[in-house]
Amino acid sequence: MDRVNDFAFKIATANGTGSASANGLLMQAIFRMGVPVTGKNVFPSNIQGLPTWYEIRVNKDGYTARTPHFDLMVALNAATYDKDVAEVRSGGWLLFDSSWPLDDRLKRPDVTYLGVPLAEMCNASFKGVRERILMKNIAYVGALAALMNIDEDVIRELLTEKFGRKQALMDSNQTAVDLGYQYAARTFSCPLPIHLEPLDKTKDAILIDGNTASALGCLYAGATVAAWYPITPSTSLMDAFRGFCMKYRQDPETKKNRYAILQAEDELAAVGMVIGAGWAGARAFTSTSGPGISLMNEFIGLAYYGEVPAVIFDVQRAGPSTGMPTRTQQGDLMMAAYASHGDTRHICLYPADPREAFELAAKAFDYAERFQTPVFVLSDLDIGMNDWMVPKLRWDDSYTPDRGKVLTAAQLEQVKSFYRYLDVDGDGIPYRTLPGTHPKGAYFTRGSGHNKFGGYTEDAEEYVEVVDRIDRKIQRATKVLPAPVVRTAPGAKLAILTVGGCHAACGEALDQLAREGIALDYMRVRSFPFGDEVGKFIESHDLTFVVEQNRDAQLRNLLMLETGLSIDKMESVRYYGGFPMSAHHVISGIKARLDKAA
């Protein structure tokens, strides 16, 4: 079986031993050889000592979803030997540190062992405990390079780019690569059947994580105020934004900052600051995860009812409660859609990969200001923190921010009187003013009952008039929110409907099922509230498989609530164990239902 440029391997180490840079090096080297590649970092909620894994999938066809089947395991963590050896497919390989005898727990009759004396070689070549430990990682990169035919020159080029002027580091790393490479080359029959051949499929692509891409979206959209409280897996979004701001947001002459990043005392304050800044007229955002959204609920209701723009990034992780902070899930779909007490409904955007995270991050600010309301961007840990291969990002320089209906001083000078919540244009969107603009622009923002003039009210009709208009406003937003991505198969009576990061797994599953003669149409929703086309899509199929990553079928629940369609039209396919979804999960879920029906 041809396994060139189509295989997966996994590296098991302990957290804090420096394997992350070695694994990144492997990913990048494969990418630079022009071969599509994805990496999934499976890490613990811990700083040092707990098990950590890195999974690399090489796929010439560009399938980027996680695969749970590994051809080769690099087993360097004795604490997880049992589990790791079990994950190698029959007929696969296991690379271990042969400085010590092969552990009994690693023995399996159908696996080929590749013993490389990593510790022994590094102890002989390097001085000091730290360097010896770190270089073991680089040595396995060298061994894998020989075994998988990874271009040595590419590795050298990457090391040069990384260490450039730090000659000592460069030398150590190159020595470690060579140690592993030469040992493997002279000991084993290289390359293995699973190996790389150069391709030309990555030249217009980048390797980027969704949090970095989202931060770029915020930078390009012109966000100036960001407030946050550190939480996995969203922290790297704000870290990246800070990095970009330091580079691109300093006044060239005075070196003063054209941004404000506020590390708040908690998520309640973080979203409060964003709402305060949005009210004052800045493009402002916060980045958080599920527990943060739980805390923000009260303020989110204020922004919805007081009609204040705010952008909230929810990089979802496995809940409930603290849950599994370093595992992925789509567990906040329901909470975000109706966050806060009372009747609320929020615009949500669902990127499927880092490129879309970039684009939707930027759009989120337009929607927040145009509709004067909080907008959620829901990604997840897999999109946010893992490196994905995506087409290069582009920015349309003709873009101008949609600041919505904001009256200027000159416009206020013209009007007889200004009332904040009047539906002047009949589109449900009132005019707003920014503090400090003009004496005629003053109004009172409040979360308490108010009438269309902005005055306090407890009058039934006045209250209903305003909340009904807000409902219309949000519903009408569906006309401009990002439309679903649709793919059709001739004559299909069945369909898949999914959201966010399940896209990669669903795309692969569709292809595989088509090869097996099962034709399915496909829709991936990209925004909430859903447009009319979503209900029509479900209605037009005998059965729609709703694929998502949470226990309670939250997307299906939203679809039922929002379209009024029966549960009989939608079969739920779920995986929520904390790993990214695989095509395997989608296919087995669909087949289980089809087999039952047959």
Applying CB under 8 A, does 395 fall inside the site for another protein?
Answer: yes
Q: How far is the CB of 294 from another protein (least distance, A)?
A: 15
Nearer to another protein, 69 or 249 (CB): 249
Question: At closest approach, how far in Å is the CB of 379 from another protein?
Answer: 17
Task: Decide: residue 185, CB within 10 A, 0-12 exposed, 13-18 middle, 19+ buried.
Answer: middle
Q: Toward another protein, which CB reaches closer, 459 or 532? A: 459
Report the alpha-carbon distance of residue 201 to residue 4 in Å, rounded.
14
Binding part of the chain for another protein, among 266-274, 344-352, 422-430, 489-497 by CB under 8 A, reads: 266-274
Cβ at position 438, least distance to another protein in Å? 6
The stretch among 9-17, 365-373, 398-406, 506-514 that binds another protein (CB under 8 A) is 398-406
Q: Is 163 in the site for another protein (CB under 8 A)?
A: no
- Smallest gap from Cβ 57 to another protein, in A, equals 19
Nearest-angstrom CA–CA distance, 395 and 359:
9
Q: List Cβ neighbours of 118 (8 Å cut-off, separation of 6 or more).
A: 76, 97, 99, 136, 139, 140, 143, 180
Considering beta carbons, is residue 16 or 222 the nearer one to another protein? 222
274 binds another protein (CB under 8 A): yes
262 sits near another protein (criterion: CB under 8 A): yes
Contact 292, 264 (CB under 8 A): no
Separation of alpha carbons 184 and 114, rounded Å: 9
Among 24, 233, 278, 529, which residue interacts with another protein (rule: CB under 8 A)? 278
| Pattern 406-445, another protein, x by CB under 8 A | ---------------------------xxxxxxx-xxxxx
**Residues within window 356-375 making contact with another protein, judged by CB under 8 A:** none
Residue placing its CB nearer to another protein in the complex, 338 or 443: 443
Question: Phi/psi at 44 (nearest 5 deg)?
Answer: -90, 165
Nearest to 509, CA basis, from 571, 570, 584, 594: 584
Among positions 86, 246, 280, 486, the unique one binding another protein when judged by CB under 8 A: 280
Pairing of strands 485-487, 520-525: antiparallel
Q: How far is it, in rounded angstroms, from Cα 497 to Cα 593?
A: 15
Judged by CB under 8 A, the residue of 36, 117, 233, 281 near another protein is 281
Our CB check for another protein shows the closer of 262 and 415 to be 262
Closest approach, Cβ 458 to another protein, in A, equals 8
Q: How far is the CB of 298 from another protein (least distance, A)?
A: 5
Please say whether the dihedral angle defined by the alpha carbons of residues 591, 577, 330 and 562, taken in this order, is positive or negative.
positive
Among 393, 415, 422, 594, binds another protein (CB under 8 A): 393
C-alpha span between 408 and 434 (Å, rounded):
8
Residue 385 Cβ, how far from another protein at the closest point, in Å?
Answer: 15
For 534, what's the count of Cα atoms within 13 Å in the CB-facing half-sphere?
30
Q: Which residue, 277 or 361, has its beta carbon nearer to another protein?
A: 277
Residues 480-509 that bind another protein (CB under 8 A): none
Residue pair 135/25 in contact by the 8 Å Cβ criterion: no
Q: Closer to another protein at the Cβ: 139 or 208?
A: 208
Q: Per rule CB under 8 A, is residue 311 in the interface with another protein?
A: no
CA 271, CA 286: separation in Å to the nearest integer?
A: 6
Q: Please report how close the Cβ of residue 421 comes to another protein at its closest, in angstroms.
A: 12
Strand, coil or helix: 544: strand
Judged by CB under 8 A, how many residues of this single chain contact another protein? 77
* Residues in contact with another protein, shown as a per-residue x/- string from 17 to 56 under the rule CB under 8 A: -----------x--xx------------------------
Strands 570-574 and 374-380, bridge-based pairing: unpaired
Check binding of 397 to another protein (CB under 8 A): yes
Contacts (Cβ under 8 Å, ≥6 apart) of 464:
none
The C-alpha angle with vertex 188 and arms to 182 and 189, in degrees rounded to 5, equals 115
Query: Tokens at residue 228, please?
Result: 């946050």
Minimum CB distance to another protein, residue 435 (Å): 4
Task: Let me know if 517 is exposed, middle or buried by CB neighbors in 10 A (0-12, 13-18, 19+).
Answer: exposed
| Mask for 283-302, x = binds another protein (CB under 8 A) | -x-------------xx--x
* Positions in 201-260 near another protein (CB under 8 A): 206-208, 212, 216, 219-222, 224-225, 227, 248-249, 251, 254, 256-260
Cβ at position 355, least distance to another protein in Å: 11
Q: Is 455 among the residues that bind another protein (CB under 8 A)?
A: yes
What is the three-class DSSP state of 502? helix
403, 465, 503 from 428: Cα distances, Å: 16, 11, 34
Query: Which of residues 458 and 516 has its CB atom nearest to another protein in the complex?
Result: 458
E-strand stretches of 329-370: 347-349
